[in-house]
Structure 1
Amino acid sequence: MGRNLLYKNDECPSLAKQSAESEHNPDRRGATKGSTVTGFHQDEDGHWVAELSCGHTQHLRHQPPWQSRAWVLDPALRQEKIGLPFDCGWCAQGSVSDNLDD
């Protein structure tokens, strides 16, 4: 006969602790408060990337109409952004495995 469909199968999946190198924030850098732009560089595709004081980076593309950041194309306007506060998305997310024990 077939399997009893009313029988509850309690499976306990194993949850392996992820290694620190797979986390967004492996060295547990500080939170978003106080993060500022420290500089800019271009990636291999020519897109501008902001370097942040927390150690993370953030692409700042000008691709209208989806992303309108014309200032990033002007060296003088980019220079004006250095030292300004920047909310880092990676720091805001925290560690991916914060819910797992060390």
Structure 2
Amino acid sequence: MPESEQNPDGRGRSTVAVILGFHQDDDGHWVAELSCGHTQHLRHQPPWQSRTWVLDPAHRLEKIGQPFACGWCAQERE
């Protein structure tokens, strides 16, 4: 399964987006919804990925509006 999904309409050419919100995928993993139109899985799976904040609703809320480096947008620029 990919870490993020590309938006088919090609929105977003900047590599820095803003987190607009979150939802859970079918497996219960948290996914950030980005202003560029892309999405990014944000998993807490120690020791490889340590994102304890994603498990807490208040901490997720604090991330909304924060900048996020979108890997899909970076690839589009290459």
Scaled to the shorter chain, the TM-score interval is: 0.7 to 0.9
Q: How does 1:25-64 map to 2 (within 5 A)?
A: 26-64=8-46
Aligned equivalent of 1:76:
58
1:94 aligns with 2:76: yes
Tell me by how many angstroms 1:33 deviates: 4.4
Bigger CA radius of gyration: 1
Runs of 5+ unmatched residues, structure 1: 1-23
TM-score under structure 1 length normalisation? 0.65
Please tell me whether the aligned partners of residues 35 and 54 of structure 1 are also in contact (alpha carbons under 8 angstroms): yes
In 2: Cα distance, 1:52 partner to 1:29 partner: 11
Please tell me whether the aligned partners of residues 19 and 63 of structure 2 are also in contact (alpha carbons under 8 angstroms): yes
- Give 1 or 2: higher helix fraction: 2
Please tell me whether the aligned partners of residues 37 and 84 of structure 1 are also in contact (alpha carbons under 8 angstroms): yes
In 1: Cα distance, 2:27 partner to 2:57 partner: 18
What is the count of residue pairs matched by the alignment? 73
Q: Which has the higher contact order (CA 8 A, sep 6+)?
A: 2
Q: Compute the RMSD of aligned alpha carbons.
A: 1.9
TM-score under structure 2 length normalisation? 0.83
Name whichever of 32-41 and 42-51 sits farther off: 32-41
Give the match's secondary structure for 1:40: strand
Identity of aligned residues (%): 74
Runs of 5+ unmatched residues, structure 2: 1-5
**Runs of 4+ residues over 6 Å off in structure 1:** none
